Amino acid sequence: MIVPAKISQIPKILIMTDACRIAMEANGIYQWTTDYPSKQAFEKDIERNELYVLQHDNEIVGCIVVSLFMDEEYTSVNWLTENINNYYIHRLAVHPNFQSKGFAQRLMAFGENFARENNAVSVRLDTFSQNKRNQKFYEQRGYTKLGDIFFPNQSEHPFHCYELVL
């Protein structure tokens, strides 16, 4: 079940995303840090009604942010569509104990369907250039790889931007 997140769930969400960070680091992927994703980011997501959690057996096993807000870093990207009514996916996570069970696919389908239902022209996102698994995941869903952006506080490596035209 995918439902809007509540403030009271942030501690559990942070435990889950930290488990994701540790699992990625064990595979040499330094995409997230101890400072990102943060409590403040999730609080802002909830304030904007953009954070959703995936529950399985009453446990939070995943999350996704579906947002209309375009981050400043995205302005330099040559997107496939105009910057009008585009949804952005952020902080997609599935607890490592629940990965490879289709939960990330369900979260992405939720985000894409949410965008369609709200007459969006596309769904946009970025993923870490060193995370080949994520790149394959998005490309198999039909996303087109575009330009790169940088988040210097997270990594010296770029993040690839992707777009799915709806």
Domain residues of the chain, as ranges? 2-165
Q: Tokens 């997609």 correspond to what residue?
A: 92
- Cβ-based burial of 98 (10 A; exposed 0-12, middle 13-18, buried ≥19): middle
CATH class of 2-165: alpha beta
pLDDT digits (tens, 9 = 90+) for 115-147: 999 999 999 999 999 999 999 999 999 999 999
pLDDT digits (tens, 9 = 90+) for 2-29: 999 999 999 999 999 999 999 999 999 9
Query: Which pLDDT does position 156 carry in this prediction?
Result: 84
Listed residue (145, 138, 150) closest to 162, CA to CA: 145
Strands 122-128 and 86-94: parallel
